[in-house]
A and B are shown apart, each in its own frame.
Chain A
């Protein structure tokens, strides 16, 4: 289901506007990985999950934003084991340019650098936790 959605979204954009592939992939990756909490609208859930739409934090220093997603912070989970540099850059580029947000794109190399700086190397997840 998720896969079908992603493929459909990608195909649509490829037909329409080739340079926007990264943008569209960012949207489907966002819906897949982030929307349960931050919502497809980017508005979050008041009192629980912060809004990304109109957020000064999200549109601010990309290094801090990248580190927050990689390592987690203030209750936000860590995604270092789940998202590749390419995926995370596509998601952040989408988030920083959607719902009225107007901040610069994030490149995979930026994420790679942030990952190295934040010691957020992806590790395999254990089979069991608690």
Chain B
């Protein structure tokens, strides 16, 4: 790695994921053979870097295609879940839904390392949109069960709060806690933050929107500002739950996505490591000896096969791996049980017009809702002003996801459309086709991502981060970037670094 740290890192203000580039595997591979299980992002990252360093790499992939969870459903994409629901995506040409990962925080530099290196074009992913609606039913008052723009809620609750505090500070009521601070500067901040008038009152603000927009001449001329909602109504609605001073670390406002679907990343890897991948190879047994690892598999025709290598890097999710005949120590196997996997549902809904843009002026972003089983409805950050679009009709986790996934694909779509209709009057009329995906019902995944509890993270996780004999594990589940592609990539980087150090020493 360069000795000269880049910009903000040099100043100690780094926010990016810990590792920004692959380990340098110098000094030769000594004819070492590595078998990699799984051609997801962790497996393909390892295959790419190890083969570049001279290792002999063979990848076994259960599916007929590479990418793991990095999948994009578009016309012709087929998926049969473990309940037996068969779906073939029938979206119009050019439309798609990312059923797995769908956004890249700007600070996931490991993922961005490969999109840059492989020339995968990126576009903006709108992860925050003040114009998007919040639809909360479970609150109280006139705003409950009503779509309200997020910017209006933000302006009002912050404005009223700033007014309260500013007036209290101005009257000297906060002098004790403000000891040592500049009271006038504090009030100035509140005026700025809440967009208060000179008399420290919040009376609404132009940034939250107009009933008649400003325009030309004298009519509409200056337009007509929307009045603020009442403080009590905003508070009672619960819609403020979508607001925080900054986003969570993983939910940055600035995000990116590959143009044309997240699977462009998988395809870019596949272009480089495809010849090393054996598709349709379902691992049956992993056997270790003092000198190597033998992996038995069934091929696409059901015929048995075997691969023997010096080391094995296994990226199979723990939910799946625990059901495979595995030759590992008792503590290692016990540790594999220390993790839960998240039920995760997504559904893409093809709409015949982009009414959210045309009628509601919402370009990308999320409609947050407390509707059980929906959680959020997300509008596409691509294909602006096109004829049609595919939106994400629900993105739900946990028990709510488990419930909805028991339905047939047609019932899931009906459920999603009925919910969306509560937010957009045009929803049901515009709905054309759906494609739904439940990760816990996906064979070879059995869950959206690993969920480590406090005990599992402390007792089990560290054991699995170290090799067991000649077996190394990698994947999002062995990172603190769980469920993110960056977690898969950086875990692979860490483990191949360890393998290479061992090979170099031997």
Contact = CB atoms under 8 A, between A and B. Distances in A.
A127 B340 contact: no
A36 B438 contact: yes
B398 A125 contact: yes
A37 B440 contact: yes
Contacts of A76: 340-341
Interface stretch (A16-24, A44-52, A93-101, A105-113): A44-52
B153 to A, nearest CB: 14
Interface stretch (B118-126, B182-190, B403-411, B495-503): B403-411
Contact of B403 (A2, A47, A74, A119): A2
B467 interface: no
Contacts of A35: 406
B418 to A, nearest CB: 10
B449 A77 contact: no
A37 B397 CA distance: 15
Contacts of B366: 127-128
Interface in B423-457: 438, 440-441, 443, 446-449, 451, 453-455
B233 to A, nearest CB: 21
Nearest to B399: A82
Interface residues of A, number: 33
B447 A75 contact: yes
Interface in A69-100: 71-79, 81-83
A130 B250 contact: yes
Q: Residue among A35, A76, A119, A130 with the most chain B CB within 10 A?
A: A130
B326 interface: no
B337 interface: yes
A37 B440 CA distance: 8
Chain A interface mostly: loop
Interface string B313-349: 0000111101100000000000011111111100000
Given A73-B340, A78-B398, A127 B368 contact: yes
B409 to A, nearest CB: 13
A39 B82 CA distance: 11
A37 B242 contact: no
A72 B451 contact: yes
B451 A77 contact: yes
Interface residues of B, number: 54
Contacts, number: 116
Contacts of A61: none
A75 B451 contact: no
A101 B242 CA distance: 45
Nearest to B370: A127
B402 A33 contact: yes
Given A34-B402, A127-B242, A77 B438 contact: no
A1 interface: yes
A33 B375 CA distance: 17
Contacts of A72: 339-341, 451, 453
A129 interface: yes
A128 B440 contact: no
Most chain B Cβ neighbours within 10 Å, of A39, A45, A77, A125: A77
Given A73-B337, A82-B399, 20 more contacts: A35-B406, A36-B403, A36-B440, A36-B441, A37-B440, A72-B339, A72-B340, A74-B318, A74-B319, A75-B446, A76-B340, A76-B341, A77-B343, A77-B399, A126-B248, A127-B376, A128-B366, A128-B395, A129-B395, A130-B101
Interface of A: 1-2, 31-37, 39, 45, 47-49, 71-79, 81-83, 119, 125-130
26 contacts: A1-B415, A32-B403, A34-B402, A35-B406, A36-B441, A45-B82, A45-B83, A47-B323, A71-B455, A72-B339, A73-B339, A75-B317, A75-B320, A76-B341, A77-B343, A77-B399, A77-B402, A78-B398, A79-B398, A82-B399, A125-B398, A126-B248, A128-B376, A129-B342, A129-B483, A130-B103
List 9 A-B pairs, minimum CB-CB distance, nearest first. Answer: A72-B340, A82-B399, A75-B319, A36-B406, A74-B337, A130-B483, A36-B405, A75-B341, A78-B340
